[in-house]
Amino acid sequence: MAKIAVLGYGVVGSGTVEVFYKNKENLEKKAGEPLDIKYILDVRDFPDSPYADKFVKDFNVILNDPEISVVSEVIGGLKPAYDFVKSALTAGKSVVTSNKELVAAKGAELLKIAKEKNVNFFFEASVGGGIPIIKPIHACLEANEIDEIAGILNGTTNFILTKMIRDGIGFDEALKTAQELGYAERNPTADVEGFDACRKICILASLAFGRHVYPESVHTEGITKITLDDVSYIDSYNAKIKLIGCVRREDKGEISIGVFPAVIKDESQLAGVNDVFNAILVRGDATGDVVFYGKGAGKLPTASAVVSDIISAVKHSDTSRSLTWADSEQTFVRPFEEFTCANYIRVSIKDSESAKATVKELFGDVEYLSTKGSNSGELAFVTDVMREKDALDKCAGLPDGFGVPVRIRVLDY
């Protein structure tokens, strides 16, 4: 009999308990032994819950109960989750978590403790919600050298961009709709500024390349500056704007990593990912491109990933032996100004012919875009692949009359 504690009875926590009891019989068959949730930790009272007798307010009750072998942390945030998880692992209990902030900030340290204590630390639910991605990268694509990972990792921003593209409404209005539907928080910063996607690509990068990538080292841009003008030009390029988190293996043991809105051609599997859905593309040297698609958030999808990790932890999967990454050296993440990609650029102009001559001089041959709403006072074009630094320099080198150029990176997935 394996006894489990669930920390936090919010959206994911209550979903975890719900999925667990709904499929308990099946889960026990898969785990190979009886299972039960013994404690649910929450500061609030739930007197009317069918699980009322399981609620505790003091984490030490769980920590000091030798019967508890698996702790499921679904509180979110660093405080108090980090202390709870660290104590649980140190006490020889396996931990599963949906907490991307925790894994992105403390993954290397917590995995190290788990290894020393010969217990598991699993976090499938921290990236992609219900989409299996951590385990498949770790246990299915292991015969590959992974060259790149690129993902639509945040459902809120993908919903907003989808609304803008489909309904032709601006960012502010689309955000408001997302908030009304409960897809965006009242304070949407973590989503719309790319911080949430940043944590997730850090976790995937750490997993794929074996060294911890900290969010602070990742160039991160959100979608707040995307305009309908750009949506329209990019539509004429047979492409979509998506908020992409991507990491790429470079030479000398380095990686390039970033989160930013990007132009994705329609033939890419990522271009057709709409609304709150997420998708993650993994490019391996043997498999080529593999894409995982599904609901990246939500109560039951996320809970499903948490419960699956609970079963894996109960089965004492030998994953703990190999699921690990080291703390990283400064030099591991290449400066973002070395990142290479093509660029969509939109500038103000006065005279088309002379402007095109200036563009050619600076950027070489480019592909000009047009759109229904294109006006004679601007030019939009797509450049060849170049270094970020060169793109910045060239944009800075545009004469005064060009205004402040809008630039969106073009990725090839």
Question: What is the rounded distance in angstroms from the CA atom of residue 141 to the CA atom of residue 286?
Answer: 9
CA 378, 379, 383: angle at the middle one, nearest 5? 155
Instruction: Indicate which single residue of 94, 156, 162, 304 sits in contact with its own copies (rule: CB under 8 A).
Output: 304
What string of DSSP letters covers 289-357?
EEEEEEE-SSHHHHHHHHHHHHHHHHTT-THHHH---BPPPGGGBPPGGG-EEEEEEEEE-S-HHHHHH
Nearer to its own copies, 87 or 312 (CB): 312
Stretch that binds its own copies, among 26-34, 81-89, 339-347, 353-361 (CB under 8 A): 26-34
Question: What is the rounded distance in angstroms from the CA atom of residue 314 to the CA atom of residue 33?
Answer: 9
Question: What is the rounded distance in angstroms from the CA atom of residue 102 to the CA atom of residue 124?
Answer: 13
What x-and-dash track marks residues 85-124 binding its own copies by CB under 8 A?
---------------------------------------x
In whole angstroms, the minimum distance from the beta carbon of 287 to its own copies comes to 4
Instruction: Indicate which single residue of 38, 112, 135, 334 sits in contact with its own copies (rule: CB under 8 A).
Output: 135
When asked if residue 19 is in the footprint of its own copies (CB under 8 A), the reply is yes
Stretch that binds its own copies, among 18-26, 186-194, 243-251, 330-338 (CB under 8 A): 18-26
Nearer to its own copies, 80 or 136 (CB): 136
* Rounded CA Rg of the chain: 23
What string of DSSP letters covers 385-407?
-EEHHHHHHHHHTS-GGG-S-EE
Contacts with its own copies by CB under 8 A: the residue count is: 57
Question: What is the rounded distance in angstroms from the CA atom of residue 205 to the CA atom of residue 6?
Answer: 28
When asked if residue 295 is in the footprint of its own copies (CB under 8 A), the reply is yes
When asked if residue 301 is in the footprint of its own copies (CB under 8 A), the reply is yes
When asked if residue 311 is in the footprint of its own copies (CB under 8 A), the reply is yes
Strand 277-284 relative to strand 146-152, pairing: antiparallel
- Exposed, middle or buried by CB within 10 Å (0-12, 13-18, 19+), for 297? buried
Task: Confirm whether 200 is a catalytic residue.
Answer: yes
When asked if residue 238 is in the footprint of its own copies (CB under 8 A), the reply is no
| Whether 104 contacts 214, CB under 8 Å | yes
Stretch that binds its own copies, among 37-45, 149-157, 280-288, 331-339 (CB under 8 A): 280-288
Instruction: Indicate which single residue of 52, 139, 181, 385 sits in contact with its own copies (rule: CB under 8 A).
Output: 139
Instruction: Indicate which single residue of 64, 118, 227, 322 sits in contact with its own copies (rule: CB under 8 A).
Output: 322
Instruction: Indicate which single residue of 291, 336, 340, 405 sits in contact with its own copies (rule: CB under 8 A).
Output: 291
Active-site entry in 200, 240, 242, 295: 200
In whole angstroms, the minimum distance from the beta carbon of 163 to its own copies comes to 15
Residue 206 parent element (H or E) = helix 195-209
When asked if residue 168 is in the footprint of its own copies (CB under 8 A), the reply is no
Q: How far is CA 294 from CA 129, 291, 402, in A?
A: 8, 10, 42
| Structure tokens, 23 | 């499929």
In whole angstroms, the minimum distance from the beta carbon of 267 to its own copies comes to 8
Rama region for 299: left / alpha / beta (φ>0; ψ in -120 to 50; rest): alpha
Per DSSP, helices labelled H in 237-318 are 299-314
Nearer to its own copies, 128 or 215 (CB): 128
Site for its own copies, rule CB under 8 A: 19-20, 22-23, 26-27, 29-32, 124, 130-132, 135-136, 139-145, 267, 269, 272-274, 284-295, 298, 300-301, 303-308, 311-312, 315-318, 321-322
Q: Please list the active-site residues.
A: 200
